[in-house]
């Protein structure tokens, strides 16, 4: 019997300790006797004496918050403020902004920024079985269904707001996406629209608690967005590093050219790796117009030296060249030109083909 009582007593102590620890995590330690202190009256100076000079240098300013009178003692949370974490490359937050907002810059040239963000957000919600109650891309607003987070979620902030710790907290959120006029930067904001946990509702939360929930959700969305970006980047790097098939052919203007069996976005960086491997220095490039300006600098590259050492043609005098890269849908053409933008003839292109094909089809080129 004594053992049973000891066991029950021990379990009760653990439960009380856990509850106390949870409370102590967000409240100040020490005595709360100060909450019973009364304000002292001003110094009373007799009428026949001169009053000393008073200074307001150490006066405590009033707090202009509706719930400030209740935020004393154990009701005052002393945990650090929640911060939006701009994990995504090129993302940032506005200085002084109190809203849960992040600015995202364009990272994909082949897709509109707003479409990329919406796809990432909707994918995040689908992964967590969260419904989308309303979505209007024209106005840039999306309202979620009820979203549940439990204590196991990283940096979860919901389960502390209610004494009913066994009831999961749920919230509905509105995401708003505003595009900058130039279209390459977007502002993503989130606001808590509804909340429930046991008997606790949205009106029971303080402004600090609401912001903490909003920031927590926004940071998770940002993390998912960055994960997708990294995944796409790694996949793209793998495609760029692997060998690409290439054949002789013609560009869109009918000039002799190399035709690479790859889309433009993969072939463009791959061609630069090939040029570097073959001893070319890329001086300038323009992806939108498909132009690469190069200079051959490495005289030790055997294929180039052997190609022209026995033929004193004018190509030997040219050390600068231009490459025209053209998008052919699922393929990409490479047109060689001199520094006057005159295309190489078929014979010259044929002589260049073998060494270029050898490197283009090689796996594992260094980025």
Which single residue is written with the structure tokens 């090939």? 274
DSSP string of 111-172?
Answer: S-HHHHHHHHHHHHHHHTT--EEEEETTTTEEEE--EEE-TTSTT--GGGS-S-TTSPEEEE
**pTM confidence score:** 0.69
The per-residue pLDDT for range 353-362, each reduced to its tens digit, is 998 999 999 9
Give 334's DSSP letter: E
How many C-beta neighbours within 10 Å does residue 249 have? 15
The residues spanned by each domain of the chain are 73-238, 246-360
DSSP string of 258-279?
Answer: EEESS-HHHHHHHHHHHHHHTT
How many C-beta neighbours within 10 Å does residue 278 have? 19
**Helix extents (H) in the chain:** 2-24, 113-127, 207-241, 264-277, 302-309, 346-360
Topology alike, domains 73-238 and 246-360: no
User: Which parts of the chain register pLDDT below 50?
Assistant: 4-20, 151-164, 309-318
What pLDDT shows up at residue 149? 65
How many C-beta neighbours within 10 Å does residue 344 have? 19
> How far is the C-alpha of 255 from the C-alpha of 336, rounded, in Å?
9
* CA-angle at 283, arms to 278 and 284, nearest 5°: 120
Domain 73-238's class? alpha beta
φ and ψ of 100, to 5 deg: -80, 90
How many residues are given for the chain?
Answer: 367
> How far is the C-alpha of 113 from the C-alpha of 186, rounded, in Å?
7
What pLDDT shows up at residue 179? 95
Q: For the structural domain made of 246-360, what CATH number should be given?
A: 3.30.310.170
Among 229, 237, 246, 240, smallest CA distance to 268 is for 240
- Tokens for 119? 């796809």
- Tokens for 188? 């993503």
Burial (CB < 10 A; 0-12, 13-18, 19+), residue 215, is buried
φ and ψ of 190, to 5 deg: -135, 140
């Amino acid at each position: 019997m004594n053992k049973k009582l000891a066991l029950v007593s021990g379990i009760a102590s653990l439960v009380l300790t856990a509850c106390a620890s949870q409370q102590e995590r967000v409240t100040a330690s020490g005595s709360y006797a100060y909450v019973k202190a009364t304000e002292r009256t001003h110094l009373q100076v007799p009428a026949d004496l001169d009053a000393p000079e008073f200074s307001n240098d150490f006066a405590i300013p009033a707090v202009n918050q509706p719930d400030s009178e209740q935020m004393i003692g154990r009701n005052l949370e002393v945990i650090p403020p929640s911060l939006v974490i701009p994990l995504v490359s090129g993302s940032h937050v506005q200085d002084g902004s109190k809203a849960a907002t992040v600015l995202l810059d364009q990272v994909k040239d082949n897709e509109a920024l707003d479409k990329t963000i919406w796809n990432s957000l909707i994918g995040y919600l689908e992964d967590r079985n969260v419904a989308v109650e309303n979505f209007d891309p024209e106005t840039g607003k999306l309202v979620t269904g009820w979203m549940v987070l439990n204590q196991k979620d990283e940096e979860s902030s919901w389960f502390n707001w209610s004494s009913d710790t066994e009831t999961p907290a749920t919230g509905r959120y509105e995401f708003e996406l505003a595009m900058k006029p130039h279209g390459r930067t977007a502002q993503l904001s989130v606001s808590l629209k509804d909340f429930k946990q046991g008997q606790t509702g949205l009106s029971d939360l303080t402004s600090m608690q609401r912001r903490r929930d909003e920031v927590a959700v926004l940071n998770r969305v940002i993390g998912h967005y960055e994960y997708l970006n990294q995944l796409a980047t790694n996949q793209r790097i793998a495609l760029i590093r692997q060998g690409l098939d290439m054949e002789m052919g013609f560009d869109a203007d009918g000039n002799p050219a190399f035709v690479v069996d790859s889309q433009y976005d993969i072939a463009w960086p791959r061609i630069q790796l090939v040029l570097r491997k073959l001893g070319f220095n890329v001086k300038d490039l323009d992806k939108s117009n498909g132009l690469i300006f190069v200079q051959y600098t490495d005289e030790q590259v055997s294929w180039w030296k052997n190609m022209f050492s026995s033929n004193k043609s004018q190509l030997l005098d040219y050390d600068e060249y231009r490459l025209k890269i053209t998008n052919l849908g699922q393929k990409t053409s490479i047109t060689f030109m001199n520094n006057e933008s005159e295309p190489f003839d078929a014979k010259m292109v044929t002589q260049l083909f073998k060494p270029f094909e050898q490197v283009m089809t090689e796996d594992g080129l260094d980025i």
